[in-house]
Amino acid sequence: MFSLLKNKQYFRFWSAQVISQLGDGITRLAIMYLVAILSKDPFMIGLVIFAQLLPTAVFGVFLGPLADRYNRKWLMVGSDVYRMLIVLVMLIFHDSAPILILLIVLQGLGSAIFDPARSASIPDIVGEENIQQAISLSQGTRSAMDIIGPSIGGLLLVAGNYTVIFLIDASTFLLSAFLLIGLTISTKKVDEHHPTSKENYRQSLVTGIREVVKIPALRFLLVLLMPVTLVVGVLNTNLVAVLTNVFEVSGAHFGLLESSLGIGAIAGALFIGPLFMKHVRPSVLLLLGTIAIGCWMLVIIPLDGLRLSYGIAPVYAWCIMIGVLNTLINVPLSSLFLGTTPAYFRGRGSSLLGATANSFQMIGILFGGWIAGLIGILNGVAFAGALLIFVVLFIPFLRGYKDLHQIIPKKRKLQQTGSQAAID
């Protein structure tokens, strides 16, 4: 996997991700803190999370065709420059919570253009056979930046210098754009020989959705994504409340526990996930990972007793495993979707995947708050986990899963072909 970094084009591509996501992590913490102290209203804090998810959930599908119709490199560069300008405007209005939330939505529109173009470019840069390795490295990098960025942001918040925070984020977008400009990889639009190349924008949008839904494996992945991301929304909503209100951890432990989630995700994406992917089909790993995270959410009930008996250590172990199990879902899911989607509508496919994930995560956030108020925070998390297990138990019997199970990553397929040739 790390050998991909020897590819100069991919190294520039990956470096741009590192830099821009580092700035995102710094600013995300700063905005959450600013909105909290400016409004002193939990509802406004919840709006920050919604504002981050809303653009992709609502507009992602409509922006996805851009990645299949125009040069993906320049879409990414333009999106970086646009987001840099939005961050500079945040600097001006850092003392207004409503305007900050509006600017988060506007910045998210840039991400809704950038992310499908980035995902669709991965096979062009690393080759079809290295998709899974590139996704694992990308997931691990994102998790690492989710730890490092907020940590740096926290130190900057201590100094109270918001100007520096926003200027750092703006400069990371500018540097990311500079690195992406240097890519010489051919990031083409729709194949000129494909019938869809002559379609107008509306037709391209409809075709993208129809093509994804028409392929049984992709259609099934979208359906499976719905309950999974809904449960993720429930978990995200209640985790902070579990740690602060139920377990009553100190501020220092709260920060470290949040980091332990990222540490687990890094280990899962860079080491544990790829190890499993070498020996287990992605469809099986996706199923096992989904069941495992459901079971692990049930463990939160006895975890409270373990905490009282053994201290904070079991809580750290639980958080680390949540991070690991998340990647055992994300890595095979992304690999299957990107590897199965035909090249001529990967941008539209990626945008549909993101829109589905964010939409159901938003529903999960609302459902998580409601269920926690109804049966309690711990019981709410456990109930969501049990619901996920119940859904997943039926998956192997569905036709869509059988179609998904037939998919073998191209690299492993080549290895199997080579082994068979050696035997012959």
pLDDT surpassing 60 at residue 20 = yes
Instruction: Measure Cα distances from 365 to 289, 381, 383, 389 in Å.
Output: 21, 12, 14, 19
- CA atoms of 299 and 318, how far apart (whole Å): 8
Question: For position 390, what pLDDT does the model report?
Answer: 92
Contacts (Cβ under 8 Å, ≥6 apart) of 166: 27, 30, 87, 88, 90, 91, 94
Question: For position 281, what pLDDT does the model report?
Answer: 86
All domains of the chain in start order, with CATH: 1-189 (1.20.1250.20), 215-416 (1.20.1250.20)
Assess contact for 39 and 97: CB atoms under 8 A: yes
Question: For position 296, what pLDDT does the model report?
Answer: 95
pLDDT surpassing 90 at residue 159 = no
Q: Identify the weakest region by mean pLDDT among 14-18, 59-63, 238-242, 348-352.
A: 238-242
Question: For position 42, what pLDDT does the model report?
Answer: 60
pLDDT surpassing 70 at residue 418 = no
Question: For position 381, what pLDDT does the model report?
Answer: 92
Helix residue ranges, H only, 242-298: 251-267, 273-279, 282-298
Q: Is 163 exposed, middle or buried (CB count within 10 Å of its CB: 0-12, 13-18, 19+)?
A: exposed
> From the CB of residue 93, how many other CB atoms can be counted at a distance below 10 Å?
13
Quote the percentage of the chain above a pLDDT of 90: 25
Q: Identify the weakest region by mean pLDDT among 149-163, 189-203, 383-397.
A: 189-203
Residue 214 backbone phi and psi in degrees, to 5: -70, -30
pLDDT surpassing 80 at residue 387 = yes
pLDDT surpassing 80 at residue 21 = yes
- CA atoms of 287 and 299, how far apart (whole Å): 19
* DSSP assigned state of 93: T
Spacing of C-alpha 155 from chain mean position: 25
**What are the respective helix, strand and coil percentages of the chain, to the nearest 5?**
90, 0, 10
Q: Could you tell me which of 211, 198, 180, 148 has the C-alpha nearest to residue 348?
A: 211
Question: For position 193, what pLDDT does the model report?
Answer: 46
Quote the Cα angle for 334-336-341, to 5°: 95
Mean pLDDT, to the nearest integer, of 333-343? Answer: 80
Question: For position 419, what pLDDT does the model report?
Answer: 37
> From the CB of residue 215, how many other CB atoms can be counted at a distance below 10 Å?
15
3-state class (DSSP) for residue 96: coil
pLDDT surpassing 50 at residue 190 = no
- CA atoms of 353 and 218, how far apart (whole Å): 9
Q: For the segment 99-158, what is each residue's pLDDT rounded down to a tens digit?
A: 999 999 999 999 999 989 888 888 888 887 788 788 888 888 887 887 787 777 777 777
Q: Which amino acid is at 355?
A: A
Quote the pTM value: 0.80
Question: For position 291, what pLDDT does the model report?
Answer: 94
